[in-house]
Amino acid sequence: MLPIHVALVPSDDAQIDPTELMHVAATLQVQLSRDFEPAWKIPGTVSAFISLDQVPPAYLPLIILPPNTLDPGEHAFHTTEKGTPIGLVEATPGWSRAASHELLEMVCDPQGKRKVLGDSLADSHRGNVVSAGKNYLDQGPVAYLLEICDPCQDQPYSLYGLEVADFVLPSYYSPRRAEPGRYSFTENVPGPLELLNGGYITWYTSINASPVWQAKKDGAGVLTIGPMTIPAHGSSRSDVDFTNEAFDSLASAAPAGAPDGPPRSGASAAALARRAARRYGQELRAELTRLLADVSNAPPQVSLDQVLSIVKRLINNDQYYADFSTKPTDRSVELTKLLGHDVTFPHGVPTQDQLKAVYEKVQHVQGTGKMVSPRLAATMIQGQT
């Protein structure tokens, strides 16, 4: 199998010491070669580059951003555009851990769409399902999104003085629960499909009304399971499929900069390589600008009480659904004015059951005085968190 090549590279405005950059890249290469590849049989390389202009085409860029660039809690994120995965990691203290998380998942599943068949955790832990009630439908076999760092994301390990992400092994997805074995690299995960505190797992069902589900353990070890219209925020790749669907509909491609014209006669291989890298760097800059416009860190302005008030009003207003079917723009404008952020429904208007699930999730953290960004508030009200 050909290796997957990843470029660890700072954005133009990120202040990363070159020595630190090389140290992190070398450590992550050891993790890939020594820890990850023997278990997953997928070779990969990670190379440090000082500038986006140096990244060769076909390298998957893992871009380091200044602190506080992304929404709170989203220190790493990736999506795909034109078939190329892009990773974003904030240069916060200990950023090697987030870079390791993103790197391993990019190498294991570059497109963020690989799934593994397994029995539903909701079926086996029905008592932990939010709003299961009498209407709960047995899910049977489901498709787990292959995000190998999510189940153990809050318990890293040390490598050459740096924190790196723990990751589950192929045995983690085995249905043979009674057999003892090793399920994560550190051996901290006790069994198949089990979560450490702070970890979570996402899966797709065959039930159209609630196709995406997630199980998560909080810091105290309390397990909560529930449906969502997109994977909930919580780690770097949790919303990759939703992002793919949203951006796949865009017809325009990122500008590639001014054309260079045909190469001059006698141009050296090194000159051609520099030219290709420069063009690729221009594309990456344009793509980074587009991504940050969507996920940048805006000052939190919306209270959870306001979110709950709007969601409750929608739940109790049967006419809302009839109105939206005839005047969707008017209703979107109304909600946008309330939040100061565009509200759209790329997956269709959320059902009342979906909004009830959102309401109960928001209630869990109500009373903390927490403020959220208009973007996250809009996502909640769309029934997508």
Q: Are residues 126 and 234 in the same domain?
A: yes
Q: Are residues 307 and 372 in the same domain?
A: yes
Q: Name the helix (H) or strand (E) containing 163.
A: strand 162-164
Is 173 part of a structural domain of the chain?
A: yes
Q: Are residues 125 and 227 in the same domain?
A: yes
* Tens of pLDDT, residues 285-326: 887 887 776 666 566 677 778 888 888 877 877 666 666 666
Q: Are residues 119 and 200 in the same domain?
A: yes
- Residue predicted with more confidence, 137 or 170: 170
Is 10 part of a structural domain of the chain?
A: no
Q: How many CB atoms lie within 10 A of CB 202?
A: 27
Only one residue has tokens 């269709």, namely 348
Is 209 part of a structural domain of the chain?
A: yes
**What's the chain's average pLDDT?**
78
Q: Are residues 217 and 329 in the same domain?
A: no
pLDDT grade for 264, boundaries at 50, 70 and 90: very low
Give the pLDDT score at 260. 36
* Tens of pLDDT, residues 199-243: 999 998 887 777 888 999 999 999 999 887 554 443 334 343 333
pTM, two decimal places: 0.69
Phi-psi region of 234 (alpha: psi -120 to 50; beta: other; left: phi over 0): left
> By mean pLDDT, which of 105-114, 136-145, 211-220, 232-241 is the weakest?
232-241
Give the pLDDT score at 366. 58
Instruction: Tell me how far apart the alpha carbons of residues 202 and 105 are, in angstroms, rounded to a whole number.
Output: 14
Q: Are residues 227 and 147 in the same domain?
A: yes
Q: Are residues 209 and 131 in the same domain?
A: yes
Is 134 part of a structural domain of the chain?
A: yes
Tell me which of 197, 217, 241 is where a domain ends. 241
Tell me which of 241, 274, 309 is where a domain ends. 241
- Looking at the chain, the whole-number percentage of residues with pLDDT higher than 70 is 73
Of 11, 159, 2, 172, residue with least CA distance to 89: 11
Is 4 part of a structural domain of the chain?
A: no
The whole domain housing 372 covers 298-381
Q: Are residues 302 and 234 in the same domain?
A: no
Tell me which amino acid residue 223 is. Answer: L
Count of domains in the chain? 2
pLDDT at 76 exceeding the cut of 70? no
Question: What is the mean pLDDT of the segment spanning 15-44?
Answer: 96
Is 55 part of a structural domain of the chain?
A: no
Q: Are strands 44-48 and 4-10 parallel, antiparallel or unpaired?
A: parallel
Q: Are residues 221 and 313 in the same domain?
A: no
Let me know if 357 is exposed, middle or buried by CB neighbors in 10 A (0-12, 13-18, 19+): buried
Give the pLDDT score at 299. 60
Tell me which amino acid residue 260 is. Answer: D
In Å, how far are 70, 89, 258 from 77, measured between CA atoms? 9, 7, 29
pLDDT grade for 365, boundaries at 50, 70 and 90: low
Instruction: Tell me how far apart the alpha carbons of residues 71 and 236 are, in angstroms, rounded to a whole number.
Output: 11
Question: What is the mean pLDDT of the segment spanning 266-277?
Answer: 74
Give the pLDDT score at 26. 98
Only one residue has tokens 């190469």, namely 263
Is 121 part of a structural domain of the chain?
A: yes
Is 57 part of a structural domain of the chain?
A: no
Question: What is the mean pLDDT of the segment spanning 145-171?
Answer: 95
Query: Residue 39 CA to chain centroid, in angstroms?
Result: 23
